[in-house]
Amino acid sequence: MMQDRQVYEYAFVRFVPRVERGEFLNIGVILLCKRMDFLEMKVQLEEVRLRAFFPEVDLDQVRQYLDSWSLICQGDPRGGPVSGLDPANRFRWLTAPKSTMIQCSQVHPGLCTDPAKVLEDLFVKYVC
């Protein structure tokens, strides 16, 4: 018997070096499937690509931002108070509009039976 498909939501994690210009590179995906208690983020920093896009990039700073996001996504207490929220609220916090060099796209919905596979598929198609 086929497992019921569940609603999921995802957003692309973007590197936005000059917020005022609105230019970005997709560097990851974050996906929530509330009914399956699934919240994961997958990112990839390609130094050559980032430097070609923005030569002055501080990769250590970008990594620090993404490490914080990862801790929050995982619900790790080292991520601060937001990490203590339930997965859906952590997702909402991470995907809320920001004026920083790491931002998310609009949130998009879908239906799936395997959120980990969807996350991987989105990552391969839109980030790699």
Q: What share of the chain is helix, strand, coil (3-state, %, to 5)?
A: 45, 25, 30
Tens digits of residue pLDDT in 63-97:
999 999 999 999 999 999 999 999 999 999 999 99
- From first to last of the 128 residues of the chain, give the pLDDT tens digit: 457 999 999 999 999 998 888 889 999 999 999 999 999 999 999 999 999 999 999 999 999 999 999 999 999 999 999 999 999 999 999 999 988 889 999 999 999 999 999 999 999 999 98
Q: In the numeric block, which tokens belong to residue 68?
A: 């914080």
E strand intervals along 1-128: 6-15, 25-33, 38-43, 102-104, 108-112
